[in-house]
Amino acid sequence: MKKTNIVLLVVIAVAIGVIVTVAGDFSTYETFATAKEKEGKEYHIIGVLDKAKELTYDPVKDANYFSFYMKDKTGETRKVIFYGTKPTDFEKAEQLVLTGKIEGNEFHCNKILMKCPSKYKDDQVAMSTKQM
């Protein structure tokens, strides 16, 4: 075999090894039930804020403790604890994506992403009525 063929095979083998190693770190969106099966592993969970239950945030007592209840895509509701400040306009979010893990019956998240209502939604409705 030529030296270039051997080098090419080594490069391909290393690339495959890197892809396999990195592929294990890719996470998908899960539910609370799936996260409960493998307690301690970090997951991304999509859901909506359960507005019927209380939000707990007292910046005077502890500015880095925020808890609320979230309903995942299967309808299961769990208490979520976030060790950080409450995000601005949290109650207005249409959807939440939490990154964290289950500990006992609670989901401890270290990151919250919010899908907020579009500020252009009303403009689009107004434009469509003007065009008629």
**Sequence ranges of the domains in the chain:** 28-117
- pLDDT tier for residue 18 given thresholds of 50, 70 and 90: confident
Half-sphere exposure (Cβ direction) of 117: Cα atoms closer than 13 Å: 9
Q: In this predicted structure, what is the pLDDT of residue 128?
A: 45
Q: Which CATH architecture has domain 28-117?
A: Beta Barrel (2.40)
Q: Quick check: 129 pLDDT over 50? A: no
User: Per-residue pLDDT averaged across 43-55, rounded?
Assistant: 91
User: Per-residue pLDDT averaged across 55-84, rounded?
Assistant: 92
Contact between 48 and 94 (Cβ < 8 Å): yes
User: Per-residue pLDDT averaged across 102-122, rounded?
Assistant: 82
Q: Quick check: 25 pLDDT over 80? A: no
Q: Against a cut of 0.85, is the pTM above it? A: no
Kind of pairing, strands 66-72 and 56-57?
antiparallel
- pLDDT tier for residue 127 given thresholds of 50, 70 and 90: very low
**39 Cβ neighbours under 8 A, 6+ residues apart:** 101, 102, 103
